């Protein structure tokens, strides 16, 4: 009687860390996308919840700003699903979208300063997690 053995695949510490950082970035990008979408929804539906500053360099319509956040947030959620599937294009788009979210949150500092700075830091961690992983350690 012949016995068959199934090969055991060992993952190295580098591969485990690469997978962990990609999952971290995917979760954070998903959360950041949801928050951006909700923030944009607030700007579209009821833009008087935001603090209006008169003497700021970047002045624009809060409804248009809300639509921009909703669009970027929806795309970020879709890209995070690609990161969960470990698709290579999602890493590149994830870095680009996190960069766009940093810019969008920088422009919205006068409306919600502490929240904007928190999301800028969160998106900075997303960029770090997606860029620190070497290509040869990806699954």
Tell me the per-residue pLDDT of 57-72, one tens digit each, with 9 for 90 and over. Answer: 556 677 888 888 899 9
pLDDT digits (tens, 9 = 90+) for 5-49: 555 555 555 555 556 788 899 999 999 999 889 988 887 887 555
pLDDT digits (tens, 9 = 90+) for 102-137: 998 888 787 778 988 999 999 999 999 998 876 654
pLDDT of amino acid 47: 59
Distance CA 69, CA 50 (A): 14
Structure-block tokens of residue 95? 């870095």
CB 51, CB 113: distance < 8 Å:
no
Query: Where do runs of H (alpha helix) occur along 4-138?
Result: 13-45, 62-84, 88-107, 113-131
Distance CA 76, CA 62 (A): 21
pLDDT of amino acid 76: 93
Model confidence at 138: pLDDT above 60: no
pLDDT of amino acid 107: 82
**The model's pTM:** 0.74
């Amino acid at each position: 009687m012949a016995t068959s053995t199934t090969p055991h695949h060992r993952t190295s510490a580098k591969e485990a860390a690469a997978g962990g950082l990609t999952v971290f970035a995917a979760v954070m990008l998903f959360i950041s996308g949801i928050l951006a979408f909700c923030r944009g929804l607030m700007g579209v539906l009821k833009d008087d919840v935001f603090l209006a500053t008169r003497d700021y360099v970047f002045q624009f319509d809060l409804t248009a700003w809300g639509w921009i956040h909703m669009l970027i947030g929806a795309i970020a959620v879709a890209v995070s699903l690609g990161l969960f599937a470990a698709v290579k294009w999602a890493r590149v788009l994830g870095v680009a979208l996190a960069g766009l979210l940093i810019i969008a949150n920088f422009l919205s500092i006068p409306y919600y300063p502490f929240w904007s700075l928190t999301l800028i830091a969160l998106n900075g961690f997303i960029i770090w997690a997606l860029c620190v992983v070497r290509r040869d350690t990806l699954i």
